[in-house]
Structure 1
Amino acid sequence: MKNAKKISLLLILAALMVFSAACGGTSNTADPGTNGSSNTDTNGTATEKLSGSLVISGSSAMQPLVAAAAEEFMAKNPDVDVQVNAGGSGTGLSQVAEGSVDIGNSDVFAEEKEGIPADELVDHKVAVVGMAAAVNPNVGINDISKEDLIKVFTGEITNWKDLGGKDQKIVLVNRPDSSGTRATFVKYALDDKTPAEGVTEDSSNTVKKIISETEGAIGYLAFSYFTDDSVTPLSVDGVEPTDENVQKGKFPIWAYQHSYTKGEPNALAKAFIDYMMSDEIQTTLVKDQGYIPGSKMEVERDAQGNMK
């Protein structure tokens, strides 16, 4: 009888050990060497552990948004490093096409940039950005007709007094040819007229600084840079450069914010892009950073500039 009791006890203990092993034999932590081969929820928090690094380059108009999102993404995924560089849309498209970065940010469609193999890239539209001409606050105007705006940037009008402003020489501040901000402004504000020679700067931050410190200066910036009174955004033909006017198609100077990958993104890049397009980022960070959620747009635009 005693032997039977011992055998029963041993069988119970063995069963408990098997059950315990079965419960503890699975894990939701990915292999640290997978470089982000796990999944994330819609808020960017890893359901399996993400690790590895992402290198992102391109549009300086997008940089504030992408950098802010990267900080939050890294906070949720401490084993991930995201490096966000500017350099202009052309640089972002070239670098992602050649495979030297994981994501290339651009204010323009890849099809619009000469020499870019657009058919090899996958477009992820993460937001919309409005852009406007920006002047030194002392020039004395805050509205301009589109016709006069073109004359200013092509050098036909050279003094602000001719537009009702101060007797000041107009100083043009441009972005380089590789800039998506420049391409957008030239296409939709200047009707593809080539700007006259002036100061040329690679960075939107530097453009803003020069405009704010230079009497008579005018340039162009994304809405996301109008965070203080150091520069004045200009209305065009009485239409103010606001999110609402962009959304309704009333203010024409705007662009999609594209995050391009070479082919389908790897798991880590996909997790970051999904996070950029999540409700958490679109409803808070996108708006807080001065951009427009794509879902709020009442109009669309194709690579040829046709709006519908």
Structure 2
Amino acid sequence: MLKKWPFVLMTLTLVFLLAACGSSNNAAQGGETGGTTNNGGQTTETPEAPALSGNVLAVGSTALQPLVEQAAQKFMAEDQYKGVSVQVQGGGSGTGLTQVSGGQADIGNSDVFAQEKLESGAEELVDHQVAVVAMAAVANPKVGVDNLTKEQLVSIFTGKVKNWKEVGGADQEIVIVNRPSSSGTRATFEKYALGTKTEDLPGSIQQDSSGTVKKLIAETPGAIGYLALSYLDDTVTSLKYNSVEATVENVEKGDYPVWAYEHMYTKGEPQPHVKAFLDYVLSDAVQQADVKDLGYIPVGGMQVTRDVDGNVTKK
């Protein structure tokens, strides 16, 4: 019997060694797959986060439209967002706010605070301020004027001054190219450039699209209107305001007063795919490239802030 003990001991040693090797292999395999071990000793793989998908409809401000459209194209080209489709439409700030409030749009693009336009429902909207837009009075290049005071602008847009020669320009009848009452661009211009609301005058032209406004002013003798800086080019003359030029630097310092925040409103907190797009618009990739390239001003560059009542405060 004693002669058999060495054989038994050797057999038990081999059994323990094989068991240890099996445990090591199982642990190694679990580490390679990234799995986790549960109470039963089994390994399971950690599930990946589901890919974002869905449709985003952004409607409203034509002054903000170029930025939102360009950001949307870049956003949809990113691999992680290929399941999300973004559609951008104009129509004016009032339309955007009304549609997002009513649930017809996911995002309402606006040049003004929601409470300035909506009679009800503004308290349900969440404000995402994505840029600053500055606006300038612009005229047909042949009017012979490149600067107007606030008082002169008010006289023109209220119909008291009807000829450019009355403000030092050519002997040419003034033709006003205005925006509809729902336009956030018009609301901003009237509030910060004129300080008063105006009526639509006989003979004036009303146009909803900023691109069309620029074309009309460039082609219509004696025409005057107003555009966001993102639309300015050498086809129209940008008019100084009280001798202050509409530049990014002057806006950031608070020297040029005709500017507003660009808002992208959602009704309540946005759905994940909508939030992903809003976060993308606020990312450095868009703020430091597209925002600046298209003539807007990043919110982070402003040295002043403005509240809903128009009060400006130094940061």
**Bigger Cα displacement from structure 2, 189-198 vs 288-297:** 189-198
Query: 1:136 corresponds to which letter in structure 2?
Result: N
2:207 aligns with one of 201, 205, 221: 201
Distance 1:302 1:8, change over 3 A: closer
Distance 1:115 1:193, change over 3 A: closer
Give CA deviations for 1:269-301 in whole Å, capped at 9, x if unaligned. 111111111222211111111001111111111
Maintained 8 Å contact 2:127/2:265: yes
1:222 aligns with one of 228, 231, 248: 228
For 2:264 and 2:306, the matched residues in 1 are separated by 17
2:160 aligns with one of 156, 161, 166: 156
Query: 1:113 and 2:117 equivalent?
Result: yes
For 1:8 and 1:279, the matched residues in 2 are separated by 53
For 2:26 and 2:110, the matched residues in 1 are separated by 62
Shift of 1:195: 4.2
**Gapped runs of 5+ residues in structure 1?**
31-48
Give CA deviations for 1:158-195 in whole Å, capped at 9, x if unaligned. 11111221111111001101100000011111111414
Shift of 1:146: 1.0
1:28 aligns with one of 23, 48, 52: 48
What is the alpha-carbon root mean square deviation over aligned residues? 2.0
For 2:19 and 2:246, the matched residues in 1 are separated by 84
**Gapped runs of 5+ residues in structure 2?**
1-9, 36-43
Distance 1:191 1:10, change over 3 A: closer
Q: What SS does the aligned partner of 1:259 have?
A: strand
Give CA deviations for 1:40-72 in whole Å, capped at 9, x if unaligned. xxxxxxxxx322110000111000111111111
Q: TM-score, normalised by structure 1?
A: 0.88
Give CA deviations for 1:244-274 in whole Å, capped at 9, x if unaligned. 1111111111000011110111111111111
Give CA deviations for 1:104-136 in whole Å, capped at 9, x if unaligned. 011001111142411111111111000011111
Give CA deviations for 1:64-119 in whole Å, capped at 9, x if unaligned. 11111111111112221100111000011000101111110110011111424111
Q: Which residue of 2 aligns with 1:63?
A: 65
Q: What SS does the aligned partner of 2:304 have?
A: coil
Q: Which residue of 1 aligns with 2:88?
A: 84
Shift of 1:16: 5.1
Q: What SS does the aligned partner of 1:189 have?
A: helix
| Aligned residue runs from structure 1 range 109-188, under 5 A | 109-188=113-192
Q: Which residue of 1 aligns with 2:275?
A: 270
Corresponding pairs, count: 289
Percent same amino acid at aligned positions?
54
Which one has the largest radius of gyration?
2
Q: TM-score, normalised by structure 2?
A: 0.86
Distance 1:22 1:119, change over 3 A: same
Give CA deviations for 1:16-37 in whole Å, capped at 9, x if unaligned. 555555548234341xxxxxxx
